[in-house]
Structure 1
Amino acid sequence: MIGELTSDQIDQVMFRQIIGRIGCSDAGKLYVVPIAFAFDGNYIYAHSKEGKKIKMMRKNPEVCFQVDEIDNMAHWRSVILWGRYQELKSERERQRAMKLLMDRIGALQTGETSHSKEYSQAPQIVEKKKRAITFRIEVQEKTGRFEKP
């Protein structure tokens, strides 16, 4: 059975995942790359070094974002969100975004041989990543599909 995900189901997929694919375009050229992210219900947060993706999003801030969960070829969920790129400039915004990212990504890295780190040191993390661009995508529209046996 193939169907559409509800808004709540879309958010659940977004909250469970940490890797998505961001799509941006400039001058008729499309560019899609995977990124680590954190989702808070309204925004997708990420950071990146200066490069093609950042340059393209600065020129055209309208982007899309795709996330999926694939159990097998007959059992999957796929989400696409559209929104607007916003570069975070203030130190407070950058620290909040980096803490959210590190808390989310760090929580999923804990296992028998790795240990969760204390990410309350977001200001130090931001300081070390001064050259990184911290940004968010304001979610304006979302859709999702699923297939299950």
Structure 2
Amino acid sequence: MLGDLNSRQIEHVLSSLIVGRIGCHADGRTYIVPVTYAYDGTYIYGHTKEGLKIDMMRKNPMVCFEVDDMENMSNWRSVIAWGKFEELITTEQRIEGMRILTDTIMPFMTGETTISYSMMDFQQKTIEALQGVVYKIKLTEKTGRYEKT
């Protein structure tokens, strides 16, 4: 059975995943790229280095964001949202964005194979990461679909 997700289900999908895709468009070119993210109910938070994605979002901040949760080809949920990119500039904004991002991602990094340094090293790397681009995307429209057998 195919169907539409309601708003509560959409929020659950966005909140329970940490990898999504940003679609951006500038200069007649469209680019879709996977990102690690955190969602706080209003904003998608992310961190990256300078590159094509950031160049394009600076030129055209209107973006599309997509996540999918696939159990198999007949059992899945997908959310597509539209919103506006905003680069976090001040130190306070950047630290808060990174805090939200790391608080969300850390529970998924639980084993020795996914954590190769101590918590102190992790905190130091988080501070160093502030040298990259910290951003948020305010989601303004959301839709979702599912298939369940």
Per the TM superposition, whether the score is higher than 0.5 is yes
Is the contact made by 1:98 and 1:125 (CA closer than 8 Å) also made in structure 2? no
Q: Which residue of 2 aligns with 1:72?
A: 72
Q: Which residue of 2 aligns with 1:33?
A: 33
Q: 1:19: how far off?
A: 0.4
CA distance in 2, matches of 1:134, 1:113: 26
Match of 2:109, SS state, is coil
CA distance in 1, matches of 2:130, 2:147: 42
CA distance in 2, matches of 1:112, 1:51: 31
Is the contact made by 2:19 and 2:35 (CA closer than 8 Å) also made in structure 1? yes
Q: Which residue of 1 aligns with 2:91?
A: 91
Spell out structure 1 runs of 4+ moving beyond 4 A: 112-115
Q: Which residue of 2 aligns with 1:50?
A: 50
The 5 Å alignment of 1:11-30 reads: 11-30=11-30
**Pairwise CA RMSD:** 2.0
CA distance in 2, matches of 1:12, 1:19: 14
TM-score (norm 1): 0.90
CA distance in 2, matches of 1:62, 1:21: 14
Q: Which residue of 2 aligns with 1:3?
A: 3
Corresponding position: 1:63 with 2:49: no
TM-score (norm 2): 0.90
Q: What is the percentage of aligned positions where both structures have the same residue? A: 47
Letter in 1 for 2:15: F
The 5 Å alignment of 1:105-120 reads: 105-111=105-111
Instruction: List alignment gaps of at least 5 residues for structure 1.
Output: none
Match of 2:134, SS state, is strand
Q: Which residue of 2 aligns with 1:139?
A: 139
Letter in 1 for 2:24: C
Q: 1:118: how far off?
A: 5.1
CA distance in 1, matches of 2:47, 2:4: 30
